[in-house]
Amino acid sequence: MFKKILIANRGEIALRIVYACRELGIKTVAVHSEPDKDSLHVRFADEDVCIGPARSSESYLNISSVIAAAEITDTDAIHPGYGFLAESAAFAEVCKACKIKFIGPKPNVIATMGEKSKAREVARKAGVPVLPGSDGVVEELDAALVIAHEIGFPVIVKASAGGGGRGMRIAQDAKELARVFPVAREESRAAFSIPDVYIEKYLPNPRHIEFQILADEKGNMIHLGERECSIQRRHQKVIEEAPSTALSADLRRRMAEAAIKTARAVKYENAGTIEFLLQDGKFYFIEMNTRVQVEHPVTEMVTGVDIVKEQIRIAAGEKLSRKQEDIVIRGHSIECRINAEDPETFMPAPGLITTYHPPGGPGVRVDSAVHSDCRISPYYDSMVAKLITHGGNRDEAISRMRRSLDVMVVEGIKTSIPLQKKILSDPDFQKGNISTRFLERYVR
Residues tagged active-site: 291
CA within 13 Å, CB half, 66: 28
Quick one: which of 101, 116, 294 has its CA closest to 198?
Answer: 116
From the number of C-beta atoms within 10 Å of its C-beta (0-12, 13-18, 19+), residue 323 rates as exposed
Determine the Cα–Cα distance for residues 310 and 321; give it in Å rounded to an integer: 8
Determine the Cα–Cα distance for residues 157 and 313; give it in Å rounded to an integer: 39
Determine the Cα–Cα distance for residues 131 and 85; give it in Å rounded to an integer: 29
Determine the Cα–Cα distance for residues 284 and 385; give it in Å rounded to an integer: 31
Question: How open is the CA angle 151-127-216, to the nearest 5 degrees?
Answer: 130
Determine the Cα–Cα distance for residues 343 and 53; give it in Å rounded to an integer: 30
DSSP for residue 5:
E
Name the CA radius of gyration of the chain, rounded. 21
- 236-242/221-233 β-pairing: antiparallel
Phi/psi at 284 (nearest 5 deg)?
Answer: -140, 135
Total Cβ atoms within 10 A of residue 80:
26
Determine the Cα–Cα distance for residues 242 and 53; give it in Å rounded to an integer: 38
**CA distances, 89 to each of 31, 106, 325, 428 (Å):** 20, 8, 33, 41
- 332-339/383-391 β-pairing: antiparallel
Determine the Cα–Cα distance for residues 128 and 124; give it in Å rounded to an integer: 5
In this structure, are residues 22 and 310 in contact, taking their beta carbons and an 8 Å threshold? no
- Three-class SS string for 217-261? CCCCEEEEEEEEEEEEECCEEEEEEECCCCCCHHHHHHHHHHHHH
CA within 13 Å, CB half, 120: 23
Phi/psi at 97 (nearest 5 deg)?
Answer: -65, -30
